[in-house]
Amino acid sequence: MNRRGTRHTSLTEKAVLLCRALRKAGYRPHPGPIDGRGRSRGDCRIKISSEPGRIRLRVTGHGVQEVFLYGPVELEKIVKAIETMGAGVHIESIIQTRESLSIRSDSTGSSSNVCKSTE
């Protein structure tokens, strides 16, 4: 019998701030596993990586927690949402895989990077 894994419902202090900012931007973040052995410093660093089917954000600061986004995601919108979190928040890296990146052009002729996740 296949059993579904445990859902992660608790959030670290910094992940709460990130999820709040992502919800304001219109996304529905899903919390992932917590590693409490992170640095004890209070600064918040975020790594963004796109994988086929999802976008993973690793939040550090009093531990490490992963937050996942599913569906089409605009990186510029995520970066702006993270910048609204306040001082002491740094985007450490953005990693995009070739399968998850697509370029979408709007009616004005400009193009924007959109990470598409395939479900």
Note whether residue 8 is domain-resident: no
- Across the chain, where does the E strand assignment appear? 30-35, 44-51, 54-60, 64-69, 73-74, 89-95, 101-105, 111-115
Note whether residue 101 is domain-resident: yes
Note whether residue 6 is domain-resident: no
**Predicted local distance difference test score (pLDDT) of residue 103:** 40
**Predicted local distance difference test score (pLDDT) of residue 39:** 59
pLDDT higher than 80, residue 29: yes
Note whether residue 2 is domain-resident: no
Note whether residue 92 is domain-resident: yes
Note whether residue 90 is domain-resident: yes
Q: Which residue has the higher pLDDT, 104 or 72?
A: 72
Q: Which residue has the higher pLDDT, 101 or 26?
A: 26
Q: What number of other Cβ atoms are within 10 A of residue 28's Cβ?
A: 11
Number of domains in the chain: 1
**Predicted local distance difference test score (pLDDT) of residue 8:** 61
Q: Which domain holds residue 36?
A: 13-115
Q: Which residue has the higher pLDDT, 45 or 42?
A: 45
Task: Band the pLDDT of 19: cuts 50, 70, 90.
Answer: very high
pLDDT higher than 70, residue 105: no
Note whether residue 4 is domain-resident: no
Note whether residue 7 is domain-resident: no
